[in-house]
């Protein structure tokens, strides 16, 4: 059973370009989460999605960032007009369906390291 | 106020000696607490989790943590360190009652880097 897959593993962009980060959850998982890790920091929650729905985007910057999890295909985190401050590691996690409101364990991917020049 | 505080940014131990990584948290009545480990350039792996069952939680690779409500602590321990334990460890809380958001919103500490000397 493959784990959470993220690609690309490394991404270099120049200021003003767009960055697209992909995440394929574990088989059978319908919940996806995105986190950002700045150097020397812990991970910061960005957004929580189910198929075709955004459940919680309280950690997402209001501008330039968007996320989707379509019915078919991977979840995409999109950053428009990147700036140097967007350089970070972006981690995706997935979990099974939540039953009775119980918190399920999140399983993390290897991350995408974005460098903005 | 800091929601998850990892008291040491760096801990160094000798192989075969005990490991103690400290974590204090702020929470409402019933938080969920986790420890994750991150090896260099890798993703995060769950070591253990507490979700209001037994207060002493056993995890993988010989690690365990004890939930102490009176001290608001969730320290991670291991009796004997191995070289392969060298990594960064994150204490994590989920508590929507206190912080809002959803149960999916995990709040991470800043991490503790563990070094193991031969």
| pLDDT of res. B53 | 73
Q: Is A86 strand, coil or helix?
A: helix
Token pair in block for residue B16: 């075969």
| pLDDT of res. B1 | 46
Q: Distance from A100 to chain B by nearest Cα, in Å?
A: 12
Residues of B in contact with A98 (CB under 8 A): 103
Contact present, A97 and A36 (Cβ < 8 Å): no
Are residues A33 and B109, on separate chains, in Cβ contact within 8 Å? Answer: no
Q: Distance from B4 to chain A by nearest Cα, in Å?
A: 10
Picking from B94, B88, B37, the residue whose alpha carbon sits closest to that of residue B63 is: B37
The region of weakest confidence among A23-37, A75-89, A93-107, B23-37 is A93-107
Q: Quick: pLDDT tens for B93-113.
A: 887 666 666 667 788 999 999
Q: Quick: pLDDT tens for A19-28.
A: 999 999 998 8
Residue A17 forms contact with B (CB below 8 Å): no
The answer for A 40-59 residues in CB contact with B (under 8 A) is: 40-45, 48, 55-56, 58-59
| pLDDT of res. B105 | 79
Q: Is A116 strand, coil or helix?
A: strand
Helix locations, B14-118, DSSP H: 96-99
Distance between CA atoms of residues A69 and A50, nearest Å: 7
Q: Give mean pLDDT, residues B32-46.
A: 88
Q: Give mean pLDDT, residues A74-85.
A: 97
DSSP structural state of residue A99: S
Residue A38 forms contact with B (CB below 8 Å): no
**Does A53 or A100 have the greater pLDDT score?**
A53
Report the DSSP pairing between strands A10-13 and A112-116.
parallel
Distance between CA atoms of residues A47 and A3, nearest Å: 20
| pLDDT of res. B102 | 66
Residue B85 has pLDDT above 60, yes or no: yes
Cis peptide before A8 (omega within 30 of 0): yes
């Amino acid at each position: 059973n493959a784990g959470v897959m993220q690609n690309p593993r490394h991404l270099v962009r120049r200021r003003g370009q767009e960055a697209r980060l992909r995440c394929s959850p574990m088989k059978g998982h319908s919940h996806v989460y995105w986190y950002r890790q700045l150097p020397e920091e812990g991970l910061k929650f960005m957004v929580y999605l189910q198929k075709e729905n955004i459940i919680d985007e309280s950690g997402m910057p209001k501008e330039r960032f968007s996320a989707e999890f379509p019915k078919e295909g991977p979840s995409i985190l999109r950053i428009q007009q990147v700036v140097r401050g967007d350089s970070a590691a972006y981690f995706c996690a997935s979990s099974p369906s939540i039953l009775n409101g119980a918190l399920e364990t999140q399983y993390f991917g290897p991350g995408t390291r974005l460098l903005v020049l | 106020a800091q929601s998850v505080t990892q008291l040491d940014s760096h801990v160094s131990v000798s192989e075969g000696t005990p490991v103690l990584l400290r974590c204090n948290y702020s929470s409402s009545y019933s938080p969920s607490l986790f420890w994750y480990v991150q090896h260099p350039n890798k993703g995060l792996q769950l070591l253990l989790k507490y979700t209001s069952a037994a207060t002493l939680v056993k995890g993988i690779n010989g690690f365990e943590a004890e939930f102490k409500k009176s001290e608001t602590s969730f320290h991670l321990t291991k009796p004997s360190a191995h070289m392969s334990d060298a990594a960064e460890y994150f204490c994590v809380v989920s508590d929507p009652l206190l912080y809002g958001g959803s149960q999916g919103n995990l709040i991470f500490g800043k991490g503790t880097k563990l070094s193991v000397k031969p």
